[in-house]
Structure 1
Amino acid sequence: MEFRSSCPIAQSLDVIGDRWTLLIMRDALLFQRRTFAEFAGSPEHIPTNLLADRLKKLVKLGLLEKIPYQDKPLRYEYIPTDAGQKIKPLLRALRDYGQQLG
């Protein structure tokens, strides 16, 4: 992946800094959501075209692994990789920060 800056924070945002990516990783890591339908059912109602795009990006970046779980029709589940697991502390910190806001 090509980064816009040498700053580690900017590089992290290049990977996970859009509106939906961290929510998908939250669902995968904290709520054990695995299938497209499970991700689509999140309370934030991510549009399915954006969900498909972000899942593809997360697989390409090595944060999720795409594994077939059904043959006919072919369906996949998305499993966090070891690299994806490293986002858990960030999600917990964001959760803690968000709880202080309300």
Structure 2
Amino acid sequence: MAKEKKYKSNCPQYLALEVFGDKWTLLIIRDMMINGKKYFREFLQSKEKIASNILTNRLQMLEEEGIIRRKQDPNHKQKIIYLLTERGIDLFPILMENARWSLKYKPVEDIDRAKAQAILDGGQKAIEQIMEQLRHEHLD
């Protein structure tokens, strides 16, 4: 049985930030959800240029938190596929709210603006459809 972790605070914001309070963690999740990335090397190729040691650390933490899971690639026994869990898929609305704020206040690239705005314009129904698609792609 895993030992229960002690936290400095049980504030809901604090507890959430313990998991995804750095830029790299949410960017990895974004890459899985929006860009369809599933392999270590694919994450390294993101335009933000995450270092391999940071990527390794974040993937391990996300797995420990139950947000992603690993499985062997059936086509290549030495490759690992990273997949979202239901807990991870539940972060999609948070990513979209972050996008909504950025679209309002930051100089978002046109292609990213168009993608995010299309989802947001579709409202809750569009968010739920994408989450259902993620379930189909990531959950067995």
For normalisation by structure 2, the TM-score amounts to 0.69
CA distance in 2, matches of 1:35, 1:4: 34
Structure 1 position 19, deviation (Å) = 2.2
Contact 1:65–1:78 at 8 Å: present in 2 too? yes
Unpaired segments of 5 or more residues in structure 1?
Answer: none
For normalisation by structure 1, the TM-score amounts to 0.93
Say which SS state the counterpart of residue 20 (structure 1) adopts.
Answer: helix
Is 1:80 matched up with 2:80?
A: no
Say which SS state the counterpart of residue 45 (structure 1) adopts.
Answer: coil
Paired residues for 1:11-22 under 5 Å: 11-22=15-26
Residue number in structure 2 paired with 1:65: 69
Residue number in structure 1 paired with 2:130: none
Contact 1:65–1:79 at 8 Å: present in 2 too? yes
Unpaired segments of 5 or more residues in structure 2?
Answer: 108-140
Residue deviations 1:31-73, cap 9 Å, x none? Answer: 11100011111110000110011001101111001011021xx
Is 1:34 matched up with 2:35?
A: no
Contact 1:4–1:11 at 8 Å: present in 2 too? no
Structure 1 position 18, deviation (Å) = 1.3
Structure in which a larger fraction of residues adopt helix: 2
Say which SS state the counterpart of residue 44 (structure 1) adopts.
Answer: coil
Say which SS state the counterpart of residue 23 (structure 2) adopts.
Answer: coil
CA distance in 1, matches of 2:80, 2:22: 24
Over the matched positions of the two proteins, sequence identity in percent amounts to: 31
RMSD of equivalent CA atoms: 1.0
CA distance in 2, matches of 1:86, 1:2: 24
CA distance in 2, matches of 1:4, 1:96: 30
